[in-house]
Amino acid sequence: MKGKSMSLAAVFVSNQEVRPVKRHIVLLFITLMLCVLSCALSEKEKMKGPESSAGVDAETREVLREINSVNAYQVPDLELREDASYAKTAQDFEPFRHVKPYKEHFLRQIEYTGPGRAIPEPNDIETVKLGFIGPIMSTVSVATGGKSHEEQLGIKMLQGARLAVEQANAGGGYLKRNIPFELVVTNDNGLWGASGNEIVNMAYKDKVWAILGTIDGANSHIAIRVALKAEITMMNSGDTDPTFVETNIPWAFRCISDDRQQGYLLVDYMYGKLGIKRVGIIRANNRYGRFGVREIRDGSRRLGNPVVLEMSYKLGIDDFSLQLERLAAENLDAIVHWGDAIEGAKILNQMREMGMEQPYFACDRCLSDDFVEIAGANSEGVVFTYPWNPTRKSRKLDEFREAFRQRFGEDAETFASHAYDGMNMVIWAVQVAGLNRAKIRDVLAHRTRAWKGVTGDIMLSAALDDVGDVYLAKREHNKWNFYSRDDLKIP
């Protein structure tokens, strides 16, 4: 019994000594497992990349998989967008619509087949540079034959772009590297050569990853041709020239509806809704005026009401009597103006002084406080084309306006709003694609969902143009009222 008792006591002591050892082993095992899981999760987060914070849908992930799987000699198998009609052109506006054309352009997306996707990301950078080009300094312009006139528009555009970059930096900057974005700002003064030189400098000297700009149609065309050679994305937020995307350049994007779409809505409204028959045009003698009225002129002819007379004026003049006397002699039902707000308001005042009471229609640049201040009571009833509806209810738009007002001490208008959207689209593409110019282009070009911007839904066509809704704005009871095609019950 004594031996048995001693044996049990020994076992008891032995178990007491072993239990702490087992607990230490269990704790050590749990600690090791937690470390392994933590490392695995960390590695998974790294593998996910910054796109997880940038809002990437399944289709964009598939685009990323394709473009990341090819080498310099391969082209990714990406679906190319095809549109049923160009710029939502109604059948009544189609040229030669009674004849089937041999080939229709701008309906199938242009493919980029170059080797740029294989270029590795750089390691030695401290900021991610994004370019801006626009008319921000007053100059004498050879293109217009006098003093430049777009600085106030360009400054607003710069403010919108700057706010987008600052907000991105406040949110962590370029998330993959935790480094800030840097805005490289250049002036575009209306000289054709200026934009070409600036794009070259930004692409090769400053080494920006994408560029936003510009407003002037001539400069925009030069810029995207240089961007084609440099293989860098150009996002346009201020040039409504319909021919901008008709260059078949896969690096050119636009986040604002063009004059083609706005012009078609105005033509439908004048002839289909109001029953107008005889229309005259007065426009600025520059590219904006010349190309802006082209669809009004062509659309009028195709609907059986060719424009009776088109008159142009030189920028900077105050006396429009020569043009208005010619228009007054034609017994017109309505007059359309295409140019800047100041000239548009002066023309309207001189029309009324001459007893010309025809309805007055104007382009989107005329919808401004300057127009109302100069035209006064004459602005009542004027109808303007416009690429978006700034009076719609939108929390995102309200937050942008408040942030813009706090940052710059003034209200945001259309050029600031579209630049803000355009720069945010570029920043999203950089976050998702990484620091590779070709891949930045790819994720923008193959995005199938509308971009939810402060200016509304931005849906890119096969030509990489914004084909979202356009509006007519009417000055009624000292405020702007905006009407879509559906609001006007125009099919």
Average of per-residue pLDDT across 87-91 = 84
Specify if 88 maps to a domain.
Answer: no
CB 234 within 8 A of CB 247: no
- Percent of the chain, pLDDT > 90? 78
Q: With contact defined as beta carbons under 8 Å apart, do 213 and 227 qualify?
A: no
Q: Is residue 97 in a domain?
A: no
| DSSP structure string for 301-338 | HHTT---SEEEEE-TT----HHHHHHHHTT--SEEEEE
Does 288 share its domain with 183?
Answer: no
pLDDT given at position 150: 87
Q: Are 151 and 234 within one domain?
A: yes
Domain annotation covers residue 170: yes
Kindly state the average pLDDT of the residues 474-489.
96
Q: Do 398 and 368 fall into the same domain?
A: no
Do 179 and 240 share a domain, yes or no? yes
Q: Are residues 478 and 338 in the same domain?
A: yes
Angle, helices 58-67 vs 437-445, to 10°: value is: 150
Based on the number of CB atoms within 10 Å of its own CB, is 480 exposed (0-12), middle (13-18) or buried (19 or more)? middle
Angle between helices 414-433 and 437-445 in degrees, nearest 10: 120
Tally of CB atoms within 10 A around 221: 20
Residue type, 158: L
What average pLDDT does the chain have? 89
Residues 358 and 455 in one domain: no
Q: Are 275 and 305 within 8 A, CB to CB?
A: no
For residue 308, the domain's CATH number is 3.40.50.2300
Residue 430 is assigned to a structural domain of this protein: yes
* Least-confidence region, from 87-96, 123-132, 200-209, 241-250: 87-96
Answer yes or no: is pLDDT of 81 > 90. Answer: yes
pLDDT for 418 beyond 90: yes
- The answer as to whether 66 is a domain residue is no
Each residue's pLDDT tens digit, 25-64: 655 556 556 554 544 444 443 334 444 446 789 999 999 9
Burial of 446 from C-beta contacts in 10 A (0-12 / 13-18 / 19+) = buried
310 and 355 fall within a common domain: yes
> What integer pLDDT is reported at residue 91 of this predicted model?
82
How far apart are alpha carbons 247 and 224 in whole angstroms? Answer: 9
Q: Which residue has the higher pLDDT, 38 or 324?
A: 324
Q: Report, as an integer, the average pLDDT of 265-278.
A: 97
Residue keyed to tokens 């007055």: 360
Mean pLDDT for 354-366 is 98
* Helix and strand totals (H; E) in the chain: 15, 16
Same domain, residue pair 273 and 372? yes
Let me know whether 162 and 218 are in one domain: yes
Q: Give the tens place of pLDDT for each residue, 190-221.
A: 566 678 899 999 999 999 999 999 998 888 99
Whether residue 156 lies inside any domain: the answer is: yes
What Å distances lie between residue 282 and 260, 326, 351, CA to CA?
A: 17, 10, 12
Whether residue 292 sits in one domain with residue 250: no
* Amino acid at position 429, single letter: A
- pLDDT tens, residue by residue, 216-263: 888 899 999 999 999 999 999 999 999 999 999 999 999 999 999 999
Instruction: Tell me whether residue 102 is in a domain.
Output: no
Overall domain count for the chain: 2
Residue 340 lies in a domain: yes
Q: What is the pTM of this model?
A: 0.88
d(CA 3, CA 8): 9
Of residues 139 and 78, which shows the higher confidence score? 78
pLDDT at 288 over 60: yes
The DSSP secondary-structure symbol of 116 reads G
- Tokens for 344? 């548009």
Q: Is the domain of 248 the same as that of 265? A: no
As given in the structure block, the two tokens for residue 462 are 């096969």
Same domain, 477 and 334: yes
Residue 212 belongs to domain spanning:
126-257+392-460
